[in-house]
Structure 1
């Protein structure tokens, strides 16, 4: 589950990075994405931790 989540996150990040490079708005996209990426990683970490505790 977490591996699939990580791969999809990396894919989305690379896709947005490519779009930012072609449109010339990379910095704006990175400023918008980095906080969201941090929130997603934090939430996924909570889910992984709770999954381990339930077992």
Structure 2
């Protein structure tokens, strides 16, 4: 992985961590989460995509 792709991975992960927190706090809906994720996938094109909806986590 080159430096540019690594930065894209970091940017996507950071953005989605914030969006996930917004979903968990009820600030956005699941549908909004999905739309935002799609937008960031198009923008960052991450190789390693890991989406976990809070409801799907096993604690």
Q: Which TM class, normalised by the smaller chain length?
A: 0.5 to 0.7
Structure with the largest fraction of helix: 1
Q: Which runs of 5+ in 1 are unaligned?
A: 46-55
Give the Å deviation of 1:25.
2.9
- Report whether the alignment pairs 1:9 with 2:15: no
Structure number with larger C-alpha Rg: 1
* TM-score normalized with structure 1 length: 0.56
**8 Å contact from structure 1 (residues 16, 29) kept in 2:** no
Length, aligned pairs only: 43
CA RMSD of aligned residues (A): 2.4
Q: Which runs of 5+ in 2 are unaligned?
A: 48-59
Task: Please identify runs of 4+ aligned residues in structure 1 that moved more than 3 A.
Answer: none
- Residue 23 of structure 1: which of 5, 26, 38 is its match? 26
* TM-score normalized with structure 2 length: 0.53
**8 Å contact from structure 2 (residues 23, 29) kept in 1:** yes
